[in-house]
Structure 1
């Protein structure tokens, strides 16, 4: 049975059943696997450009349509700050026929104005972040450019016990705003691993929320 180990950025980090070898930053060179609620395992690796996060989440847009959609995401971050994101969606027939227009690819590049905020607990920083995006479903292409005002809040440092090991962690929130559009990302940042795992996304206008609580970490 899993137990709650810590509340970070308002999201529970959970212990998994059984202990594994404790991770160090060196494990990121070979890869770390993070298990989270409501999504597939996330593989995290360190590259020369930043830390890379790869995962697949399956969702069903309409249970009466007889198909599901697999959404693959590949994110490159500098700490908790996004650099590049790409991915694809693939329709998977369950009982019906999968539509072609659900097979899409997309990408976003993120550029921050000014120096990267320091990751100091109990501080806050605001930056302008420009997102240049593109997507295609094979029928039409779309491109966009958005200048987000992003407010980062770095919460207090805590100790979390995850998969039988104690880690120094810090909750981080990133509130993005562009006119009436606004959303909030929550992360658990593993300080000694320089690994920021997203645990929640909230659309602020509607209150729609997706939670991805951490349930375990292990070496790949």
Structure 2
């Protein structure tokens, strides 16, 4: 894929390296001459320009990109970049970095954002995941808030330990997509066993999250 990253600071450069290693074509757009350092990532295409300006985006050929990542340290800039690339250039997928958690409510489809990534929220979620076995942890919001990626670690106390995936009764609008067990990534099948300590990843709407937790603990959920 051809991916444009607006913002070539430490975060933007790190994303670029990861995506280049994965085989993608990367364009870094940076308005600061201080951060515009092509020698640091010579495999990427570098553009010295303001990604908040239509003319700059047009000259960079942003419409040829499959994905745009707004990765600057300024939420206002990331919102403007998202809106312009989505509405003016019809970029298929726009991912935006949220620097200030209080601004997260703005990063929606109305501003052209398909996926909002809040580093503080993700770090907090990782801490919760590490210490709260049996509690549901929201890792990421998907599709403009229509669904969330959530995680639960199967506690030893649940009656589901030792049973099969088919015995986990989930509500409508929820799906178990992956089980992490040790170093394995398991795509769950109905006959697969469940083990205490399994990290279970679900995609679900917010209103059924409580029911997922009840199902994992094998207790009646709120209707």
TM range (shorter): under 0.3
Normalising by structure 1, what TM-score? 0.25
Q: Which has the higher helix share?
A: 2
Counting strand residues as a fraction of each chain, which structure ranks higher? 1
- Superposition TM-score, scaled by structure 2 size: 0.25
Structure with the greater alpha carbon radius of gyration = 2
